[in-house]
Amino acid sequence: MNIYQDTLILAVLVCAMVAAVFLVRFALKLVKGDPTFWERSIRGFEKQDLETPAPTGSILFTGSSSIRYWKTLEEDMAPLSVLNRGFGGSRISDVTYYADRIVLPYQPGGIVFYAGENDISGLVLSKKRTSEEVANDFRAFCSKIHAKLPEVPVYFISIKPPRRRRKLWPEMREANRLVEEFCSSDNRLDYIDIVESTLDPEGNPRHDIFKWDGIHLNEKGYEIWTSVLKPVLLESFDKR
């Protein structure tokens, strides 16, 4: 083995160690629930805005992957003007943390919010949140938004009954109840119940609306969400 081979092996080992350290730090952020875990996604939105500035006054959809993967959102919500700012497997507190960068700058005419599912299920090894914590986190999100945009309506899409996380459904259902109760106390808030439309006649989560993982919606699932949500938004924004 010559000096060049030794140098190459050493370089490979150093690169592997650096990569390992990076991955460990990355994983720790996720486990600890550190919102900066999603920084790359947020920077992606900001880069996109620099290249193509987003219009102000649109209805902004934000939250976790159920919003992020809604690829047909603009088409489904037409003629309403909408903007998708869902990211990763985010929790409510993550969206609140980044609201100054992915919500408030757009001065939205309304906000459609979906998160809470990852909070209760616990993303990977992160701490699971209770239904009360989910409701309190949503209150904190609304407080942050209304401190700067006091008249903007916020629409909370109820946590969907998950096919794969069925054992967690009682806690999710309680979170829905608490959030609905909170929304009823403020005329700027609206609770959009999609639960019944995603259940079969026996009251179980429909198998035909989920992707293979039993968590994320497929095209049919988003068609159902559209059928429930769009009429509410059309009626609300026709009156404004």
- Judge if the upstream peptide bond of residue 79 is cis by omega within 30 degrees of 0: yes
- The CATH number that applies at residue 64 is 3.40.50.1110
**Model pLDDT, residue 240:** 56
pLDDT of residue 18: 40
User: What would the pLDDT profile of 51-79 be if each residue is shown by its tens digit?
Assistant: 999 999 999 999 999 999 999 999 999 99
What number is the average pLDDT over the span 160-174? 89
CA gap 15, 19 in Å, rounded:
6
**Closest CA relative to residue 182, chosen from 215, 142, 145, 127:** 142
Which pLDDT value is given to residue 26?
Answer: 43
- The whole model's pTM is what? 0.86
Question: Which residues have C-beta within 8 Å of that of residue 157, sequence separation ≥ 6?
Answer: 63, 66, 112, 113, 114, 192, 194, 225, 229
Average pLDDT, the chain: 88
| Relative orientation angle of helices 169-183 and 131-148, to the nearest 10 degrees | 30
Q: What is the total count of domains within the chain?
A: 2
Enclosing domain of residue 169: 38-238
Contact 84, 58 (CB under 8 A): no
Question: What would the two tokens of residue 204 be?
Answer: 């179980």
Among 153, 131, 128, residue whose Cα is nearest residue 142: 153
Contact 176, 195 (CB under 8 A): yes
**125 and 45 fall within a common domain:** yes
Domain shared by 24 and 43, yes or no: no
Per-residue pLDDT tens over the stretch 182-234 = 999 999 999 999 999 999 998 888 989 999 988 899 999 999 999 999 999 99
Q: What is the pLDDT of residue 13?
A: 52
Rounded Cα–Cα distance for residues 87 and 38 (Å): 8
Whether residues 14 and 64 fall in one domain = no
Residues 12 and 71 in one domain: no
H/E stretch holding 112 reads strand 110-114
Per-residue confidence (pLDDT) for residue 2, from 0 to 100: 59
Whether 22 and 67 share a structural domain? no
pLDDT number for residue 19: 41
pLDDT at 116 over 70: yes
* Better-scored residue on pLDDT, 238 or 174: 174
Share of the chain above pLDDT 90, in %: 72
